[in-house]
Chain A
Amino acid sequence: GAVVSQHPSRVICKSGTSVKIECRSLDFQATTMFWYRQFPKQSLMLMATSNEGSKATYEQGVEKDKFLINHASLTLSTLTVTSAHPEDSSFYICSARGLGRGGEQFFGPGTRLTVL
């Protein structure tokens, strides 16, 4: 199957700093990328959907100024958590989907963010 990488896998930062997470599709062109957040013992919660070259679509309740998403190319999307606070500590995971709206998604390995 297709491979999606995510970097970094783990990050610890101080409150008030910004953290950037990269999601790359390594062997296919990802027309759509999804960013999820997972709280302990909860399902994957979709934060936003990004299509290459256009603005991301954020889910209700997700602050777009807080979670900046950029999908500048068909192989790279970034999520920047701005002015991070301890409540932003979570597991963030991206997925990428090629052509075909009902197609399967290929997931990155996720990023564990801890804000002190």
Chain B
Amino acid sequence: ILNVEQSPQSLHVQEGDSTNFTCSFPSSNFYALHWYRWETAKSPEALFVMTLNGDEKKKGRISATLNTKEGYSYLYIKGSQPEDSATYLCAHHSSGGSYIPTFGRGTSLIVHP
């Protein structure tokens, strides 16, 4: 994988459903992976900064895992609520350079009441 890819591109779920989506990134020269939540008309908000293979981070109903060897991270939302509706972006930082992140296109999540 040469670029940062997120899937699915969009997702519609019902309130109460649990869901997950994927961020794939180049596995070489890994430095860090960031997850952001971007609600409409607001600034992207940092959710997690992940640096170690096997990392698991949790914030309320949202959690994320990291596999640097195979180059992917999963974001999980348990019991989705309408206020979780947003675009979720991941950003990959590689080492050996200026640590400039590369963003995926995002996963647009819509939670229906």
Contact = CB atoms under 8 A, between A and B. Distances in A.
Contacts of B41: 109
Given A102-B93, A106-B46, A43 B98 contact: no
Interface residues of B, number: 25
Interface in A34-77: 34, 36, 41-44, 46, 49, 57
B44 interface: yes
Interface string A97-116: 00001111111111000000
B64 to A, nearest CB: 14
Interface of A: 1, 4, 34, 36, 41-44, 46, 49, 57, 93, 95, 101-110
Interface of B: 4, 31-32, 34, 36, 41-46, 49, 51, 89, 91, 93, 98-106
